[in-house]
Amino acid sequence: MRQLWVMTSSDLRQRLRDKSVIIFSLIVPLALMFVFNLVFGGTDEIELEPVTVAVSAPADDEVAQTLLDAITGTGVVDVTVEQVPAEVARTAVADGEANLAMIVPEGFGEDVLAGTGGDLEFVEGDTSGLETGVVIVVSQSVLDAYAAGTVAATAGGGLGLDPEELGRVAVEAATAGPTVESTEGETSDEQLGQGAALVAGQAGLFLTFTVGFGVLGLISERQEGTLARLQSMPMRPGLIVLAKALTAFVLGVVATSVLLTLGGLFFDVSFGPPALVGLLILSVVTAITSLTFIVVRVARTAEQAGIIQSILAMVLGIAGGAFFPVTASGSLARVLDLNPIAAFTRGLGITSSGGGLADLAAPIAIMLGFAVVMLVVARLIPDRGVSR
C-alpha cells in the first residue's frame, strides 16, 4: 500500500504540474458551459412579446366579436387589435406594421353557428412568430368550441329535444372544460433545467477525458522508459496500473466536484444536498475509471489511447445528454439508461428536486454495475496494451 501511495502521490504532483490536465478538466468544460448557455440559454423561460393584429371583421358578427375578446384576453400574449379593411390588414402585415392579419368574411358568424363552416383567413409576415402562433391557436380553440356546440345541437335536434333544451345543450357543449387533464409526473421531477443539464452534461463528458489522463500517464511511463524500471521494483505489476487508476479517480472526483460547484455558482443552479451529490460523483467517477482498465489492455500507443478515449467520451457524453437531451423508446431507451453519464445526470435531477438516498438507488446501481462489468471485461481481454 505504501508503494501505491508513493506512485499515486508522485503521479498526482506531476499531473498537476502538467497544465493540460487543468485545461482539459476544468477550463475547457467551463468555457463550453458558458458558450452553450449563451447559445441555448433562456429558452426554457420564454418571454412573449406584444403583438399587433390587424382585423377586418363585420361589426355585427357575434362570432367575430367573441374571437376578438378571446385573443385580447389570453393573459399570455399582449394583443393590440386594429380594426381595418381587409386589404389594409394584408398590407399592414406585409409592411411590418402588424404582426398578424385576421380577416373575417361577411356571414362568417352565421355559417359557424349553422354548422356549415366558414373561411377565417390569417396572414402572417416577417414579424410573425411564437406570439402570433398563440393567437391563431386561441382563435382555433374558440371556433372548435362553437363547432362542438353546433354538433351537440344538431344531435339533440335529431333526438327530438325541444328548442330550449337544445340551446342549453349547445351552450354546455361549447363552454365545457376539458375532460382529460395532465399532471406533472415523476419523470418530469427527474429532469434538470437547461442550465443544470448543461453543467451536469459537460461535467460528465469531460470526466471521461480527465480520467483518460491516467491511461496517458501509463503510456508516458513507457515512452520515458520508466515503466520497465517500475516493473522491476519489488511490488506486484498490477500495482502500477492500480496507481494510475487511483490517480485518474482522484483527478476525476476533484474535477467533477469543482465543475458542479463552479457551474452551479455561475449559472445559479442547485443540485441538492452536497452529500448526495458527492455520492453520485464517487459513483460516476468509479464507473468511468473502470474504463481505464480496458483501455490500458487494448491501446498500444498514445495515439490509440487518445482515439479510444475520445470515442468513449463522445459516445457516452452525447448519449448522456452533454450537448442536448437524448430520448429514445423501447430497447434503445434501456441501453441509453445504462450509460453511467446519463445515470449521473438523472441522479442529479433527483437530488435537485428533493429526492433522497432511496431515490438514487437506481442510478447509483447502474453506475456501479457498469464499473463491475467493465472490470470483468478487462480481466477477460488479453493484455496487448501499454501495461505489458
The residue ranges that bind other proteins (CB under 8 A) are 2-3, 6-7, 10, 14, 17, 224-226, 228-237
Amino acid at 2: R
CB of 268 to other proteins, least distance (A): 40
* Comparison of 363 and 385: residue with beta carbon closer to other proteins: 385
| DSSP assignment letter at 101 | E
Contact 350, 190 (CB under 8 A): yes
CB of 13 to other proteins, least distance (A): 9
Closest CA to 78 of 141, 132, 143, 142: 132
Helix-strand-coil split of the chain, %, nearest 5: 70, 5, 25
SS3 51: strand
* Comparison of 79 and 227: residue with beta carbon closer to other proteins: 227
* Comparison of 103 and 251: residue with beta carbon closer to other proteins: 251
CB of 244 to other proteins, least distance (A): 15
Closest CA to 327 of 160, 350, 335, 40: 335
* Comparison of 15 and 90: residue with beta carbon closer to other proteins: 15
Q: Give helix 62-72 / helix 130-158 axis angle, nearest 10°.
A: 140
CB of 210 to other proteins, least distance (A): 20
* Comparison of 141 and 226: residue with beta carbon closer to other proteins: 226
CB of 9 to other proteins, least distance (A): 10
Retrieve residue 181's grid coordinates: 387533464
CB of 14 to other proteins, least distance (A): 6
Q: Give helix 274-298 / helix 238-266 axis angle, nearest 10°.
A: 140
Integer CA distances (angstroms), 14 to 9, 10, 230, 337, in order: 9, 6, 16, 36
* Comparison of 195 and 217: residue with beta carbon closer to other proteins: 217
